[in-house]
Amino acid sequence: MQATIDETGAPPATPPRAPRRSWRFAVLLAMVVALCGSGIGLYLNERNTREQTRELAVPSAADWIELDVTAQDVDPTAQQLTLYVTPVPHGRFAAGPGSQAFARPAEITVTGTPRVTIKAAEGEAAPSQLVQVGMYDGTKTDYPFDRYRMEAGFAATSAGAAVPVGVVFTDTDPFFVLRPQATTANNGAVSLDTKITRSRSTFILSWFMIAAMWALALAVLGAAEVLYRKREGLVWPSLGWMAASLFALIGMRNAAPGAPPIGSLMDYVAFFWAEGIIAASLACTAWCGIRTEHRLRREKEAEADAA
C-alpha cells in the first residue's frame, strides 16, 4: 500500500496531536482542588459537631439551679476527666432576673473522684469548681481506637430540701469527642453518662502515620533489594537515607497526637514492623556492600600483581 502524494510530490503532513500536558495539568489541578475541598468540608463538619453547648437536663420547675459543666481535659493515663462546674441560680434562688448571685444558700454536690461540694452563700455568686471524675472501660494502649466511659452525679439542696438541677454540657478537649447522656431522678438530681472517643482529626493523622511508616519501610526494602542485586558496594547516600529513615520514624511516632504509650496498637500495626524492616535492610545492605568492597579490592590487588 502506497502513501498518497500531493501534486508537489511530498507526502501529506501528519495532523498535529492534541498536547497531553494541558489535560494532565487540568486533571492534577482538579484532584488538588477536590482534596482541598474535601479537607475543608471535613474540618467544617468537625468544628460544627464539637465544642457545642448541650442542654442535657432542663427541669420544668420555675425554681432550679443550672450547672454549666465544661469538660476541659481527658487524661487517659490517670483515667480521669476534668470538669469545670459553674452553678447558676434560676427562679426564687436568683437574687434578680439574670443574676448569678444566690438569693438563698444552697449546696451543690458533684459525685466524682473524690466527691465535691460547692457551697453558694446568700447574696453571692457560687464559685466555679474543678472536679476530677474517674473514667473506666478503656485502655490507653488501644490508641487510636481507645474508648472510655464516665459517670457523674449532680444534686442540689437548700435548707435541707432537694432542688431540681439542670445540666448544660460543653466539651473543649481537642483530642477527644464526648457524647453525654443525662438521666433525671425524682428528687431533681441528674446522672451523667458520657462516652469518650478520639476525635476524627486524631483518627486521620494516626492512619496517615501508619501508612507513612509502611511506605517508608517498603521503600527502604526495595532500595536494599536493588543495591543487593547490582553489587555496587557501599553506596553512602543510600545508606545515609536508610539510617535517617530509621531515626525519622521514631520522631514521627513520638509526635502522634495524645502521646500514646509505647506498645500501643499503632506500634504493633506499623511502627515496630517498619523499624525492623528498615534496620534489617540497612544492616544487610551494609554487609553486602562491605563484602563487595573487599572483593573489588582483592581483584584490583590481583590485577596489580599480574601486571
**C-alpha dist (Å) from residue 133 to 51, 58, 141, 209:** 19, 22, 21, 32
pTM: 0.76
User: What separation in angstroms does the CA of 273 have from each of 23, 244, 266, 279, 284?
Assistant: 40, 17, 10, 10, 16
Distance CA 266, CA 285 (A): 28
Q: Output the pLDDT for position 13.
A: 57
Looking at residue 246, its pLDDT comes to 93
- Reading the block at residue 11, the C-alpha cell is 507526502
Helix axes 200-230, 20-49, angle to 10 degrees: 140
Q: What is the pLDDT of residue 1?
A: 45
In whole angstroms, what is the distance from residue 146 CA to residue 137 CA? 9
Distance CA 154, CA 169 (A): 12
pLDDT at 252: 92
Which amino acid type is present at position 227? L
Q: Could you say which residues of the chain have pLDDT below 50?
A: 1-3, 5
CA 185 – CA 153 distance, rounded (Å):
10
**284 vs 305: CA distance, rounded Å:** 32
